[in-house]
Structure 1
Amino acid sequence: MKYYAIIVAGGSGNRMQSTVAKQFLLLDGKPVLMHTLTAFDQCKYRPEILLVLNIHQHSYWEELCLKYNFDIPHKVVSGGEQRFHSVKNGLKIIKGNGIVAVHDAARPLVSAALINRSYDVAEEKGNCVAGITPTDSVRKILEEGNESLNRNELALIQTPQTFQVSTLRKAYQVPFRNDFTDDASVVEFAGFKINLIDGERENIKITYPEDLEIATIFIKKRELS
């Protein structure tokens, strides 16, 4: 069985209040994206890594790899207009079948254990998506007001989202829709049942400036343990 990882790195610095795209911001002395690729390289399956980047960022990424002596093997793929199109571009590089994990570049703290479990479950059941139960109370916004939801019946979805290549390839044959917020929504639209697995509280997505501070704390905690 062959294993792949599509790392989607199309984020900008808008909500980070930065002119530098968030995947290139420094975390514990090196760009966020390098932490992400390292996590996949350290998992037991050692997948072929496909990094999907905006074509205008390719040369900058090459410069960063030289600057930080980053030599983990990976192939850079041009990104698309939406995340949907970027994943589709990554899929085009994969020949034949296998298991593919799609992961947000801005989730640099994903553990090798979660990545391994994702590949294991997807190989057994066809797909799996990581998620965690909300700890806050949740309300649904309605036109006429709002209503409380049972948080025990909800999941906050993370990545990796992992699939048999044939399943993901079939799902991505449809045209883009605005309600395709992740790969699970695309695969579900194609008629496949989604299998959830437990994600990790530390598998945060770098979105706001304070997220980098939180991620740094988690890294220091790992180093101490």
Structure 2
Amino acid sequence: MLVNNQEYAILVAGGSGTRMQSQLPKQFLSIGGQPILMHTIQRFHLYNPHIKIVLVLPADQIFFWQQLCAEHAFTLPHQVVEGGASRFASVKNGLAVIMGEGVVAVHDGVRPFVPVSIIREAFTVAAEKGNAVVAVPLKESIRIVSEGSSRALDRNQYRLVQTPQCFQLSLLRQAYQLPEESSFTDDASVVERLGEKIYLVPGAYENVKITTPEDLLWAESFLQSGK
């Protein structure tokens, strides 16, 4: 079990507005009168007021974010780091500014509704086992398509992977020394490449990655519900 209990969060926010059909990058779109990204930072601060947050943004979005923070009087502490050409490179840039040891969560900046209880569980399991990846069961039936035909699969054998994904820092640093591969779709896949076993913890369906206009409508409704 890890002795050093310092906690960190790398929030990756490199989205454009393409699928959202917006000229404004999705992480800056407003829900409940506040940019999505601010809601996400607040969740992690609510979990642990002493957590050290690293926000990774494209270089050309950093000044705009600073303007938004001033406009909304947003003062929760966080460090802004310039992102890379890919998610892998962006997480690597975020890792580079963390000097200490402990446990780090990597989280999508546009998942603003992750329950605090799930953040806590992920950090706890990662501190004990080395990693913890949030995931939920499938709700719907699935089929695999191949060469013009399809067949049913047992959905109970599959999980939808979410974030946060938490790791002991020494492990994640080791993983991110690997050359980037196209199969690295998230941090778990990078760590798995080292031969590590990945531990899943239960996620939540409200931990939505806001990507489309429909997601934005749902997010406004969810906020108004007060949950």
The aligned residue for residue 84 of structure 1 is: 88
- How far the C-alpha of 1:144 sits from its partner, in A, is 4.5
Aligned partner of 2:175 among 171, 178, 202? 171
2:36 is the counterpart of 1:32 = yes
Which string of whole-angstrom CA distances, capped at 9 and with x for unpartnered residues, describes residues 115-172 of structure 1? 1111111101110000000111011122352221111010000000000000100011
The aligned residue for residue 47 of structure 1 is: 51
2:157 is the counterpart of 1:157 = no
Q: What secondary structure is seen at the aligned counterpart in 2 of 1:77?
A: strand
2:221 is the counterpart of 1:211 = no
RMSD of Structure 2 on Structure 1 (CA)? 1.0
Q: Which moved more, 1:153-162 or 1:210-219?
A: 210-219
- In 2, Cα distance between equivalents of 1:188 and 1:143: 29
Runs of 4+ in 1 over 3 A off after TM superposition: none
Residues 45 and 116 in structure 1, CA contact (< 8 A), matched pair in contact too: no
1:59-138 maps to which residues of 2 (within 5 A)?
Answer: 59-138=63-142
- How far the C-alpha of 1:45 sits from its partner, in A, is 6.2
The aligned residue for residue 148 of structure 1 is: 152
Which string of whole-angstrom CA distances, capped at 9 and with x for unpartnered residues, describes residues 69-102 of structure 1? 0000000000000000000000001113110000
Q: What secondary structure is seen at the aligned counterpart in 2 of 1:13?
A: coil
- In 2, Cα distance between equivalents of 1:73 and 1:194: 31
Residues 101 and 160 in structure 1, CA contact (< 8 A), matched pair in contact too: yes
- How far the C-alpha of 1:216 sits from its partner, in A, is 1.5
The aligned residue for residue 196 of structure 1 is: 200
Aligned partner of 2:10 among 6, 12, 21? 6
Q: What secondary structure is seen at the aligned counterpart in 2 of 1:91?
A: helix
Scaled by the length of structure 1, the TM-score of the pair is 0.97
The aligned residue for residue 188 of structure 2 is: 184
- How far the C-alpha of 1:34 sits from its partner, in A, is 0.3
- How far the C-alpha of 1:40 sits from its partner, in A, is 0.4
The aligned residue for residue 220 of structure 1 is: 224
Residues 54 and 79 in structure 1, CA contact (< 8 A), matched pair in contact too: yes
Residues 40 and 46 in structure 1, CA contact (< 8 A), matched pair in contact too: no
Equivalences, count: 223
Residues 24 and 33 in structure 1, CA contact (< 8 A), matched pair in contact too: yes
Please list every run of 5 or more consecutive structure 1 residues that lacks an aligned counterpart in the other structure. Answer: none
- In 1, Cα distance between equivalents of 2:49 and 2:102: 12
Q: What secondary structure is seen at the aligned counterpart in 2 of 1:180?
A: coil
Give the residue type in structure 1 aligned to 2:71: K
Scaled by the length of structure 2, the TM-score of the pair is 0.96
- In 1, Cα distance between equivalents of 2:184 and 2:150: 24
- In 1, Cα distance between equivalents of 2:179 and 2:193: 11
- How far the C-alpha of 1:47 sits from its partner, in A, is 1.3
